[in-house]
Chains A and B, each alone.
Chain A
Amino acid sequence: NAGVTQTPKFQVLKTGQSMTLQCAQDMNHNSMYWYRQDPGMGLRLIYYSASEGTTDKGEVPNGYNVSRLNKREFSLRLESAAPSQTSVYFCASPHPGTGPFRETQYFGPGTRLLVL
């Protein structure tokens, strides 16, 4: 039971290049989230998927697209990378259910992206 996994761990892109960050969870959770973490800005939500087949914008969606491929997988795509997208990207999956732990997040190990 690996929880949340992400690939790649590290990537260097040139401005204008595209790439897809992959995320998978084996916890059978319905929801999956993509965050970026930057110094001085904290964790910011990019996109989330409340269930298979649905996606919604978060706080900072511009420049990104997502695909909820199936219940396990949620990918984040940068169509034309910009230096401002240099960041650490985390995929997370909230605890299922309706109680207070509903928003407890299980995070993946992160992808460190450098855009030159």
Chain B
Amino acid sequence: SQKIEQNSEALNIQEGKTATLTCNYTNYSPAYLQWYRQDPGRGPVFLLLIRENEKEKRKERLKVTFDTTLKQSLFHITASQPADSATYLCALVGAGNNRKLIWGLGTSLAVNP
């Protein structure tokens, strides 16, 4: 069955360091991969989208990579700040008519001052 795995353990890092979050998938051929941020008590907020034929996408301090051979996406936050503390979700979108969105469980990130 289709499956997405994100780090289940919370990630704790020091302010200023780079946070790296992982999203692995199996039995799926996504056309796009999305990353969202979710703060406690709030709905997810879209951050970045990367296509299957793109290796890397950047937005300010955020960088996403997509390796369809490894079936993995890495999400990096450089120069992390305490305000980056949140849960980060990845979601896959199928190709062609299979537009079904599959969600990971999310990884909790805590940036310590």
Residues of A within 8 A of B (CB): 4, 40-45, 90, 92, 100-110
> Could you tell me the distance in whole angstroms from the C-beta of A16 to the nearest C-beta in chain B?
28
Chain B residues positioned under 8 Å from A105 (CB to CB): 36, 44, 46, 91, 101
Interface size bracket, B side: 20 to 34
Bound-state CA distance A101–B34 (Å) is 9
- For A33, give the chain B residue with the smallest CB separation: B101
Bound-state CA distance A106–B34 (Å) is 12
CB distance B32 to A103 under 8 Å? yes
CB distance A102 to B99 under 8 Å? yes
Bound-state CA distance A44–B32 (Å) is 19
Chain B residues positioned under 8 Å from A107 (CB to CB): 43-45
Known: A101-B49, A103-B99. A90 touches B93 (CB 8 A): no
> Could you tell me the distance in whole angstroms from the C-beta of A112 to the nearest C-beta in chain B?
8
Interface centre among A41, A103, A108, A110 (most CB of B within 10 A): A103
CB distance B43 to A100 under 8 Å? no
B113 at the A interface (CB under 8 A): no
Bound-state CA distance A44–B101 (Å) is 9
Bound-state CA distance A44–B103 (Å) is 8
**Can you report 11 residue pairs joining A to B where beta carbons are below 8 Å apart?**
A40-B105, A42-B89, A42-B105, A103-B101, A104-B46, A105-B46, A105-B91, A107-B44, A108-B43, A109-B42, A110-B41
